[in-house]
Amino acid sequence: MVDAGMTMSFHTQNRPPLLLGVATKNRSHSRTKSSPSVPVVQVSSVLQTNESGNLPESKRSSMPLTRFQAPNYILSQPNTVGIIGGVSVFSSLLFLEKLVWWSLKDGGECPPFVVCSDPTLYKELPIRSLFHSFTRSRATAQILSNNWPIIESLCRKRAFLEHSGARCIVMPCHLSHAWHDQISEDCSLLFLHVGECVARELREAKLKPLENGSNVRIGVLAADATLMAGFYQEKLQSQGFEVVVPDKETMEHVVIPAVEAMKRRDMEGARNLLRIAVQVLLVRAVNTVIIASDELQGVLPRDDPLLKKCIDPMDALARSTIKWANATGNGG
């Protein structure tokens, strides 16, 4: 949950699916009394797309992205972060919370950032039916070849962030990473991949195999779509890890029902099912379990011992973003 000390000011027009924001650290006296060091986050501008996700002709003609020049950047700091929102607006807000609070730790400063969020196109994507009907290879091909409206929309958002002054791009959304290669193909900036951030942190942790004669095993819990896209498995395997995912029965009778329980706000049911899902992977000798699902984050109470065996990939993405911003801001 975003802390009340983080003040957000939104200016909306009916139901704008495209929300562009700039956050800066307020050094004046406009801080809240309860949290004097908290930055004030303000959404500085809003653009509205039409139902197809495109900018209206009037907007495109009056503000072509390709004509942005350096003097017109919203932000010009070398450590500006561009954030592409995804399926869930809340996942973007939670990522911003991590970015802000962890940056301020030990007297640090939050890097400047620009947010572009447009979750409406994802509502047209038949995630559930798509991934129950195909093998992994066919499902992945289906995602990448038949959803160009989403890919093109994400590319436009990336281009907007580039021309707004961003020097690093991140996507705090698991599903969007299914198209990371296409979105980042002609990007000249650093474009962090959540799977690579997780794999790098796990490699640096120098984990030891729980069973003799095997590689370090990492479990991945996620929705069907994220698992079938396979990018977490690919990035972890490239670092020498063995990846363990739930079998079909566990997905159908435990993981998917846990997500559905959360959507019904059945917290107790979701919590019990998630515990079972984690334990199913742990008995297969995994060192840790990656919970790559926004719906399943925060389900287990903070004092639950199982949480010590679980990680949130967005934590790794936030830490990598802060590390880059600090190094770049210090002339690294």
pLDDT in tens, 252-266: 999 999 999 998 999
Three-state secondary-structure class, residue 310: strand
Render 126-176 in DSSP notation, one character per residue: -HHHHHHSS-HHHHHHHHHHH-HHHHHHHHHHHHHHHHTT-SEEE---TGG
The tens digit of pLDDT for each residue in 291-306 reads 999 889 999 999 999 9
Round to whole Å and give the CA distance between 69 and 65.
9
In terms of Cβ atoms closer than 10 Å to its own Cβ (0-12, 13-18, 19+), residue 104 is: middle
Longest CA–CA separation in the chain, Å:
65
pLDDT grade for 117, boundaries at 50, 70 and 90? confident
Q: CA–CA distance from 167 to each of 84, 129, 156, 179, 222 (Å)?
A: 13, 37, 16, 20, 30
Q: Exposed (0-12), middle (13-18) or buried (19+): which is 301, by Cβ within 10 Å?
A: exposed
Q: Per residue in 137-173, pLDDT tens?
A: 455 456 555 678 888 889 999 999 999 999 999 999 9
What is the pTM assigned to this prediction?
A: 0.76
Position 139 scores a pLDDT of: 52
